[in-house]
Chains A and B, each alone.
Chain A
Amino acid sequence: DVKVTQSSRYLVKRTGEKVFLECVQDMDHENMFWYRQDPGLGLRLIYFSYDVKMKEKGDIPEGYSVSREKKERFSLILESASTNQTSMYLCASSHPRLTGGFYEQYFGPGTRLTVT
Protein backbone atom coordinates (compact mmCIF):
# COMPACT_ATOMS: atom_id res chain seq x y z
CA ASP A 1 0.00 0.00 0.00
CA VAL A 2 1.06 3.55 -0.66
CA LYS A 3 1.95 5.43 2.45
CA VAL A 4 2.09 9.20 2.71
CA THR A 5 3.24 10.54 6.05
CA GLN A 6 3.26 14.06 7.41
CA SER A 7 5.67 15.16 10.10
CA SER A 8 3.10 16.47 12.56
CA ARG A 9 -0.62 15.94 13.15
CA TYR A 10 -0.99 19.12 15.18
CA LEU A 11 1.19 22.21 15.22
CA VAL A 12 0.89 25.52 17.03
CA LYS A 13 3.06 28.44 15.91
CA ARG A 14 3.24 32.13 16.59
CA THR A 15 2.67 34.90 14.06
CA GLY A 16 5.86 35.67 12.16
CA GLU A 17 7.51 32.30 12.74
CA LYS A 18 8.94 30.29 9.86
CA VAL A 19 7.08 26.99 9.62
CA PHE A 20 8.10 23.80 7.88
CA LEU A 21 5.59 21.07 7.05
CA GLU A 22 7.17 17.86 5.85
CA CYS A 23 5.64 15.15 3.69
CA VAL A 24 7.19 11.81 2.75
CA GLN A 25 5.86 9.11 0.42
CA ASP A 26 7.28 5.63 0.15
CA MET A 27 6.13 4.50 -3.31
CA ASP A 28 8.47 6.35 -5.65
CA HIS A 29 5.69 8.63 -6.85
CA GLU A 30 6.69 11.39 -9.22
CA ASN A 31 3.96 13.88 -8.40
CA MET A 32 3.43 15.48 -5.02
CA PHE A 33 0.91 18.09 -3.89
CA TRP A 34 0.15 20.41 -0.99
CA TYR A 35 -3.42 21.46 -0.25
CA ARG A 36 -5.07 23.44 2.46
CA GLN A 37 -8.54 22.51 3.62
CA ASP A 38 -10.95 24.98 5.18
CA PRO A 39 -14.62 24.50 6.09
CA GLY A 40 -16.90 25.32 3.19
CA LEU A 41 -14.00 25.78 0.77
CA GLY A 42 -12.96 22.19 0.19
CA LEU A 43 -9.39 21.49 -0.82
CA ARG A 44 -7.38 24.22 -2.46
CA LEU A 45 -4.09 23.49 -4.19
CA ILE A 46 -1.11 25.46 -2.90
CA TYR A 47 1.82 23.99 -4.84
CA PHE A 48 2.67 20.81 -6.67
CA SER A 49 5.77 19.16 -8.04
CA TYR A 50 6.31 16.76 -10.94
CA ASP A 51 9.88 15.90 -10.14
CA VAL A 52 12.83 16.66 -7.92
CA LYS A 53 13.65 20.37 -7.81
CA MET A 54 10.56 21.17 -9.87
CA LYS A 55 7.59 23.10 -8.53
CA GLU A 56 4.45 24.63 -9.90
CA LYS A 57 2.11 27.15 -8.31
CA GLY A 58 -1.37 26.00 -7.53
CA ASP A 59 -4.41 28.14 -6.94
CA ILE A 60 -3.32 29.83 -3.69
CA PRO A 61 0.50 30.00 -3.53
CA GLU A 62 0.76 33.40 -1.84
CA GLY A 63 2.54 33.23 1.50
CA TYR A 64 3.92 29.76 0.85
CA SER A 65 6.95 28.18 -0.76
CA VAL A 66 8.00 24.57 -1.30
CA SER A 67 11.10 22.46 -1.57
CA ARG A 68 11.66 19.12 -3.21
CA GLU A 69 15.27 18.03 -2.91
CA LYS A 70 14.51 14.29 -2.93
CA LYS A 71 11.85 12.42 -4.82
CA GLU A 72 10.15 11.07 -1.72
CA ARG A 73 10.01 14.33 0.25
CA PHE A 74 8.02 17.50 -0.39
CA SER A 75 8.18 20.36 2.11
CA LEU A 76 5.79 23.26 2.52
CA ILE A 77 7.27 26.42 4.00
CA LEU A 78 5.45 29.34 5.56
CA GLU A 79 8.08 32.07 5.52
CA SER A 80 6.29 34.24 8.06
CA ALA A 81 3.21 32.57 9.49
CA SER A 82 0.04 34.61 9.80
CA THR A 83 -3.24 33.88 11.54
CA ASN A 84 -5.04 33.47 8.22
CA GLN A 85 -2.84 30.46 7.53
CA THR A 86 -4.47 28.55 10.35
CA SER A 87 -5.83 25.53 8.53
CA MET A 88 -5.60 21.81 7.83
CA TYR A 89 -2.76 21.04 5.43
CA LEU A 90 -2.90 17.89 3.34
CA CYS A 91 -0.11 16.35 1.32
CA ALA A 92 -0.75 13.95 -1.56
CA SER A 93 1.21 12.01 -4.15
CA SER A 94 0.44 10.30 -7.44
CA HIS A 95 2.14 8.32 -10.18
CA PRO A 96 -0.02 8.06 -13.30
CA ARG A 97 1.94 5.26 -14.91
CA LEU A 98 1.62 3.07 -11.84
CA THR A 99 -2.12 3.66 -11.56
CA GLY A 100 -2.94 3.07 -15.20
CA GLY A 101 -3.14 6.73 -15.98
CA PHE A 102 -5.87 7.48 -13.52
CA TYR A 103 -3.93 10.22 -11.75
CA GLU A 104 -5.52 9.29 -8.47
CA GLN A 105 -3.90 10.92 -5.51
CA TYR A 106 -2.97 9.32 -2.20
CA PHE A 107 -3.24 11.51 0.85
CA GLY A 108 -1.44 11.83 4.13
CA PRO A 109 -3.33 12.22 7.43
CA GLY A 110 -2.99 16.00 7.45
CA THR A 111 -1.41 18.59 9.73
CA ARG A 112 -3.69 20.90 11.64
CA LEU A 113 -1.77 24.15 11.97
CA THR A 114 -2.82 26.88 14.37
CA VAL A 115 -1.11 30.26 14.15
CA THR A 116 -1.63 32.48 17.19
Chain B
Amino acid sequence: AQSVTQPDIHITVSEGASLELRCNYSYGATPYLFWYVQSPGQGLQLLLKYFSGDTLVQGIKGFEAEFKRSQSSFNLRKPSVHWSDAAEYFCAVGGTDKLIFGTGTRLQVFP
Protein backbone atom coordinates (compact mmCIF):
# COMPACT_ATOMS: atom_id res chain seq x y z
CA ALA B 1 0.00 0.00 0.00
CA GLN B 2 1.13 3.55 -0.67
CA SER B 3 1.85 5.52 2.45
CA VAL B 4 3.95 8.24 4.01
CA THR B 5 5.20 8.17 7.58
CA GLN B 6 6.45 11.15 9.51
CA PRO B 7 7.50 9.57 12.80
CA ASP B 8 7.94 12.82 14.72
CA ILE B 9 4.69 14.54 15.63
CA HIS B 10 6.35 17.47 17.38
CA ILE B 11 9.95 18.73 17.37
CA THR B 12 11.41 21.57 19.40
CA VAL B 13 14.72 23.21 18.52
CA SER B 14 16.58 26.32 19.56
CA GLU B 15 17.03 29.13 17.09
CA GLY B 16 20.29 28.64 15.21
CA ALA B 17 20.35 24.88 15.74
CA SER B 18 20.28 22.42 12.87
CA LEU B 19 17.09 20.59 11.93
CA GLU B 20 16.21 17.27 10.38
CA LEU B 21 12.61 16.17 9.81
CA ARG B 22 12.12 12.54 8.91
CA CYS B 23 9.95 11.12 6.16
CA ASN B 24 9.62 7.50 5.07
CA TYR B 25 7.44 6.36 2.22
CA SER B 26 6.04 3.23 0.67
CA TYR B 27 5.35 3.47 -3.04
CA GLY B 28 5.27 0.88 -5.79
CA ALA B 29 6.79 2.92 -8.59
CA THR B 30 9.32 5.70 -8.87
CA PRO B 31 7.92 8.37 -6.60
CA TYR B 32 7.55 12.08 -6.89
CA LEU B 33 8.47 13.45 -3.44
CA PHE B 34 7.55 16.78 -1.91
CA TRP B 35 7.89 18.77 1.27
CA TYR B 36 5.30 21.41 2.12
CA VAL B 37 5.16 23.91 4.96
CA GLN B 38 2.03 25.30 6.61
CA SER B 39 2.16 28.38 8.78
CA PRO B 40 -0.64 28.80 11.33
CA GLY B 41 -3.98 29.49 9.67
CA GLN B 42 -2.52 29.25 6.19
CA GLY B 43 -2.55 26.87 3.27
CA LEU B 44 0.39 24.70 2.27
CA GLN B 45 3.43 26.12 0.51
CA LEU B 46 5.80 23.94 -1.51
CA LEU B 47 9.32 23.87 -0.08
CA LEU B 48 10.97 21.48 -2.51
CA LYS B 49 10.41 18.50 -4.77
CA TYR B 50 12.24 15.48 -6.17
CA PHE B 51 11.65 13.15 -9.07
CA SER B 52 14.98 12.15 -10.50
CA GLY B 53 18.59 13.25 -10.80
CA ASP B 54 20.68 14.55 -7.95
CA THR B 55 19.42 13.00 -4.73
CA LEU B 56 20.11 16.17 -2.74
CA VAL B 57 17.61 18.85 -3.65
CA GLN B 58 17.56 22.46 -2.61
CA GLY B 59 14.40 24.33 -1.80
CA ILE B 60 13.21 27.70 -0.65
CA LYS B 61 13.96 29.29 2.75
CA GLY B 62 17.31 27.47 2.98
CA PHE B 63 15.85 23.96 3.20
CA GLU B 64 17.24 20.87 1.51
CA ALA B 65 16.20 17.24 1.36
CA GLU B 66 17.98 14.03 0.50
CA PHE B 67 16.36 11.12 -1.29
CA LYS B 68 17.67 7.72 -0.16
CA ARG B 69 16.08 4.98 -2.22
CA SER B 70 17.59 2.15 -0.14
CA GLN B 71 15.97 3.57 2.99
CA SER B 72 12.77 4.82 1.32
CA SER B 73 13.42 8.15 2.98
CA PHE B 74 13.25 11.79 2.02
CA ASN B 75 14.40 13.73 5.07
CA LEU B 76 14.23 17.51 5.24
CA ARG B 77 17.16 19.47 6.66
CA LYS B 78 18.17 23.00 7.49
CA PRO B 79 21.58 23.91 8.94
CA SER B 80 20.38 26.83 11.07
CA VAL B 81 16.76 27.30 12.07
CA HIS B 82 15.14 30.73 12.32
CA TRP B 83 12.20 31.58 14.58
CA SER B 84 10.08 32.13 11.46
CA ASP B 85 10.50 28.44 10.55
CA ALA B 86 8.04 27.50 13.29
CA ALA B 87 5.23 25.79 11.37
CA GLU B 88 3.89 22.39 10.42
CA TYR B 89 5.74 20.41 7.78
CA PHE B 90 4.22 17.79 5.52
CA CYS B 91 5.96 15.21 3.40
CA ALA B 92 4.05 13.91 0.36
CA VAL B 93 4.55 11.22 -2.26
CA GLY B 94 2.75 10.82 -5.55
CA GLY B 95 2.80 9.51 -9.05
CA THR B 96 0.77 10.68 -11.96
CA ASP B 97 -2.31 11.89 -10.19
CA LYS B 98 -2.86 12.06 -6.46
CA LEU B 99 -0.52 12.95 -3.65
CA ILE B 100 -0.39 11.05 -0.39
CA PHE B 101 0.46 13.19 2.61
CA GLY B 102 2.06 12.31 5.90
CA THR B 103 0.41 13.38 9.14
CA GLY B 104 2.81 16.26 9.60
CA THR B 105 5.53 17.37 12.02
CA ARG B 106 4.99 20.49 14.07
CA LEU B 107 8.18 22.48 14.57
CA GLN B 108 8.55 24.76 17.55
CA VAL B 109 11.54 27.13 17.73
CA PHE B 110 12.81 28.56 21.00
CA PRO B 111 14.84 31.81 21.06
Contacts and interface: CB of A to CB of B under 8 A. Distances in A.
Given A50-B97, A101-B51, A105-B46, 12 more contacts: A40-B103, A42-B90, A43-B44, A58-B98, A102-B51, A103-B94, A103-B96, A107-B43, A108-B43, A109-B41, A109-B43, A110-B43
A43 B94 contact: no
- Interface residue tally on A, bucketed by range: 20 to 34
A16 interface: no
B90 A43 contact: yes
Contacts of B102: 42
Contacts of A63: none
A4 B103 contact: no
Q: Which of B94, B96, B97 has the most CB of A within 10 A?
A: B97
A107 B103 contact: no
Interface in A57-112: 58, 90, 92, 96, 101-110
Interface of A: 4, 9, 31, 33, 35, 40-43, 45, 48, 50, 58, 90, 92, 96, 101-110
Contact of B42 (A35, A92, A104, A109): A109
A110 B42 contact: yes
Contacts of A31: 97
Nearest to A102: B49
B56 interface: no
Interface string B65-99: 00000000000000000000000001000111111
Contacts of A42: 90, 101-104
A62 B42 CA distance: 26
Nearest to B42: A109
Contacts of B94: 103
Given A42-B104, A43-B90, A103-B32, A90 B98 contact: no
